[in-house]
Amino acid sequence: MEGSLDALGEDEASEVALDLLDGARQTRRESELSLVEEGEKVLEGFRLRGDCIVAQAGYLDLSGKTWACVIQGAGWVELCVIREGDGGGSEVTSWRMDVDDVEL
């Protein structure tokens, strides 16, 4: 599995997403937790911060192997995608953008 943006495809909406995420800081890590457990951990971490809200969250595929959430705080947003690992566990990729990362 790769933490790449290639999975977004090549349609017009994907071009906008790619442009926005291009300036974002990306982090990627492997987890021994299942997709569901890792998703719960990610959401709980943001809840404990107390300075942000869940703007969107849900599965991105019909098979339930890819889940994502969009978290919004004051002056920042984070997209977190969790994929089921090939041999168990999961892969977590996040893109974080601050207000300074966006050109108006």
> Mean pLDDT, 10 residues at a time, over the chain (104 residues)?
48 59 85 97 97 96 94 95 94 92 70
3-state secondary structure of 75: coil
Domain that residue 73 falls in:
26-99
| 58 is a domain residue | yes
DSSP structure class, residue 88? B
CA-CA distance, 70 to 83, in Å (whole number)?
Answer: 15
CA-CA distance, 74 to 51, in Å (whole number)?
Answer: 7
pLDDT on residue 2: 44
pLDDT on residue 104: 64
pLDDT on residue 63: 92
pLDDT on residue 3: 46
pLDDT on residue 100: 84
pLDDT on residue 45: 97
Number of domains in the chain: 1
Asked if residues 31 and 89 have their Cβ atoms less than 8 Å apart, the reply is: yes
CA-CA distance, 21 to 97, in Å (whole number)?
Answer: 8
| 95 is a domain residue | yes
CATH code, 93: 3.30.310.80
CA-CA distance, 70 to 77, in Å (whole number)?
Answer: 7
pLDDT on residue 17: 60
| 59 is a domain residue | yes
| 73 is a domain residue | yes
| 3 is a domain residue | no
| 19 is a domain residue | no
